Structure 1
Amino acid sequence: MSKYKILGYKGPYGNQRKREAEGRSYVRYKCGPMKTIQDVLKQRPGWLEVKEEEWDFHWCEVSWMRDNYGHSSLEDHVRICHFGNHYELTRKNLMVKNLKRYRKLLERELGPQEATRCDFFPCTFDLPCEYHLFVEEYKRNPGSTWIMKPAARSQGKGIFLFRKLKDIMDWKRSRSRAEDPRDEAQVESYVVQHYIENPYLINGRKFDLRVYVLVTSYAPLRAWLYRDGFARFSSTRFSLSSIGDQYVHLTNVAVQRTAPDYDRERGCKWQMQQLRRYLTARHGEPAVDVLFQEVDNIFIRSLLSVHKVIINDKRCFELYGYDIILDAELKPWLIEVNASPSLTATSQEDYELKYRLLEDTLHVVDMEGRLTGREKQVGGFDLMWNDGPVWLEGVDSETLGSSLCTAKANTHLGCFNNRKNQLRQLLKPFSGQRAT
């Protein structure tokens, strides 16, 4: 059991003999070495961990999908926590490629105004294949700050900022010397982006948002947004004069936890409700409502950009971790989408959030068959897209606007999470089960 505990939770309900006596069928599951999801699965009534290959549910690493998916026959009833080609959205260069393509499609079919609704990611180039295009853009914006990121790495690894083209030339030469020319896989893709030089600061520190989106189908697209999330802060005050200091510019927990003044109790995080209250107090409710509508727009359009590209499989689902940054004008920018968002807890509060998130993910996936399929809310998840926008209760589409993707969807990011009462009403509890 994790060192963190869910308050008021009394552990597994019953034992194997009791479940068999009551005629319950098991959900057989496998899970990798991810502590929080292991805790959730072990505490779920009627679920049984198995080691052999006969399983109903597998919470796997993306590496398992690469090595196994498509190479063996899977029964229709099983569920896996990734889509086969999830990387179309979660690999940085492919995400931008798909967003650019989708923006061109919107401009061609619906006009330039609709295409501007996709202007939520920084100017980005895929290296090395778009190096010359990058150089042309670099020369048009002398003195700008750029950020280099490996396309397929995470946790801030390999990221650096630069202003001089000489820096990237030195990078290219150093990589050429380090790589074996006989290695066919030697050329690692990077993305280079305009750096957001005017981030929104709180107490002088930069932060980004981690938000969770659950996709249970791409054909038709069916996506849920979790009400809880958090803001991740840097531990050092922001300054553009120190572009070589990762503690200033990278909010990744893997980076910040090595900082000398890292707060190990809070983990340099604010809950999303706290952030929304802070922004509302400073800017007013109308401005914050617009901000969160634009954040919703990012989720919907990014998913629509890949919904015809990702291979839909009814046995698959995906819990994405979106990273979004706000600039000083309260404009949200999409930084990246993670296929395996960290489930490691940095505090008791963080553990409880992730435990609830994962428990509600299992409620939505519904291996037990307790949902009707018509639900708009399950626990902390709100259905935001179901082959079209899911409208706010009591508000018609004409009031919200007729554009396909500018809908103010039925989401409540950073609002009160009423999951306990909602689950009591929605789900018939197992014998002895309590809402956590």
Structure 2
Amino acid sequence: MQEIIALLTRAGIPLPADLNWLAAILGFAIVGIGMALGWVISRLSGKHLKGFWERVVGERAEGLANRMVKIIYHASVSIVLAIAFFSFDWWTYTDLIIGAGWGICAAYLVWHIIRASGFARWIAVAAGVFTFALILSNAVGGLERVTLVLDRIGVDVGDTRISLLTLLTIAVTGLVLFAIVRIVRRVISHSIQRSSALDPAQKLLADKIAMIVIIVVAFFVGIDILGIDLTALAFFGGAFGLAIGFGMQKTIGNLIAGIILLMDRSIKPGDVIAVGDSFGWVNKIGIRAVSIITRDGKEHLIPNEILMTEEVENWSYSSLEVRVNIPIGVSYDADLDLARKLMLETADESDRVLNSPKARCWIVEFGDSSVNFELRIWIKDPEGGVGNVRGDIYARIWNKFQENGIEIPFPQRDLHIKEWPKSGAEALPPDGVAIKTATPPPMDD
């Protein structure tokens, strides 16, 4: 600081008798310059970075993109003030003012990042206050004293010291890593979804693998930052892992089964499948189970292992086109050619029935009461339901048959009695049926 005083003296700038005023003015000037530079940088690059972030992250960019200009501003001011703080050995008041400005900007920076990452407001407030206190303590030279006090508040467990400083370090490290994991996963997930070289199942598999890798990397980075020695826990970790392995056999099995399903692409999100009594389209393939939404809006969670070991009917495995068979019976007295023509016309008039492959109508059998036809139609949206297509076809056929006088019969039987026996007698005609009648016994008074 003597160099600055000598420079001001040679320049003919009068100095106040109390240099504390000069230190304060210098501190406010440096903070003002930092804020001006931050404003310029945020205005020049903030909108461009916001657009870039929206392209990289897509729909998940909303939280961070809307705060991008403010984040760039506070980050720029914090960097400028940090450089100024460590560049010279300032007066105490100058350090205090620069440190306070730096701490406030850094606190707001942490606030915006944590809120954009989806954390609760109280967590963002606590993290901001902690950041401000940390930087301000360092500015006034009291950081070592604060850490010493926090380290004294604790207990010794064997050779390990568990103090308030340790817990605070773990909490801060976990919060920072969790925020980084969320942001990185958003970027990677959007990049995977934008890839045109992967189908939906491969995208989902890549997204889940990326999530697992990110979490594992973050875990070991946190262990390294905190300096935790895992060798001391090797024995207990092995026993604990063995216990968890036995207890989570089904969970691990479902996890592996889900990964295999995604790898061989036998079941993909959007497929229409039938498993046991569950019929619907696949909404999501999770770590433990597959979510199937039925036509009545119910969501069935089928464990992944069941889809691997039991028979699954996939209506859209290789193609979305599905054939629907509709049985129809007409009277023996009806014009069969006309009935067949009307049924094919009905199929052509239905909106969901495909023109190619064309609908077909065949006589399948001569039944007891009717000539049974089978109308075979094709649809390409089985997730829209099959019963409603049948209902629409049946309603149209009913109207056309009514207009053209074609009867849809119902089961009926004709009983021919060749001879009625006399009362109280038994008769067995040569080609008839024996009928026996009896007089009921008299009732007591």
Range of TM-score over shorter length: under 0.3
Query: Normalized against structure 2, the TM-score is what?
Result: 0.22
**Relative contact order, CA 8 A, sep 6+: which one is greater?**
1
Task: Point out the structure with max Rg over C-alpha.
Answer: 2
Q: Which has the higher helix share?
A: 2
Tell me the TM-score normalised to structure 1 length. 0.22
Higher share of residues assigned strand: 1
